[in-house]
Amino acid sequence: MKRQIALVSILMFLLSSVPAHAGVPLDTVRVEVNKVLDVLRDPALKSESAKEIKKERLRSIYKDMFNEAEFSRRTLARNWSLLNPDQQKEFTHLFEQVLEKAYIDKILSYTNEKVVYAKEAPLSENQVEVQTRIVTSSKEISISYRMILKDGTWKVYDVVVENVSLVLNYRTQFNEILAKNSPEKLLEILRKKVKEQ
């Protein structure tokens, strides 16, 4: 009898020690990615004339899914503090547009590939990596979403495609610019890039 009580006590302790957020980040990614897939699969949005409506719907999903300020801050890393609050806000806005221009055509070229939601791996107390795969007829592409819990909500702050982090990729580029130029020059470069695209 004592042994049964001890086993039940241990089991209850193990169950109660499982983090409350277990599964929530993966479910969040699944919900948001499925929203993207719904937009891409929508027959009413297949025509070229519906392209802007499709982009607008995808932008709305991006806003729900990503923590833009965290994404931007991590991309600039130690250089973030070189920008004043107004510059940080503008950088965040411009960086979002640069990302959209860089990746929107790839997203729009979706042709019914399958998304597999593999697992979530804790990175810290309030950070998790959700691992997924896109399965095409000829290959699999690994995509991981790094998420942070802030104000009770899980949001993406980095995307790792085939082991290449967007944050680290852009950080290298921006660090090179800021090593020789002022934050204002970086903003000028981004403004020009957005305008050209």
Q: pLDDT of the chain along its 197 residues, tens only?
A: 444 433 333 333 333 333 334 479 999 999 999 999 999 899 988 888 888 999 999 999 998 899 999 999 999 999 999 999 999 999 999 999 998 888 887 888 877 788 999 999 999 999 999 999 999 888 899 999 999 999 899 999 999 999 999 999 999 999 999 999 999 999 999 999 999 86
Q: Is 175 exposed, middle or buried (0-12, 13-18, 19+ CB in 10 A)?
A: middle
User: Where along the chain do its domains lie?
Assistant: 2-196
Decide: 117 and 30 in contact? Cβ < 8 Å.
yes
Q: Which residues pair with 95 in a beta bridge?
A: none
Global confidence as pTM? 0.82
Decide: 174 and 73 in contact? Cβ < 8 Å.
no
Q: Looking at residue 154, what is its pLDDT?
A: 96
- Nearest Cα to Cα of residue 74 among 179, 166, 194: 166
Q: Looking at residue 8, what is its pLDDT?
A: 33
For domain 2-196, the question of CATH label 1.10.3720.10 is answered with no
- Nearest Cα to Cα of residue 82 among 197, 195, 182: 182
Report strand pairing: 114-124 vs 127-135: antiparallel
Q: Which DSSP category does 79 fall into?
A: G
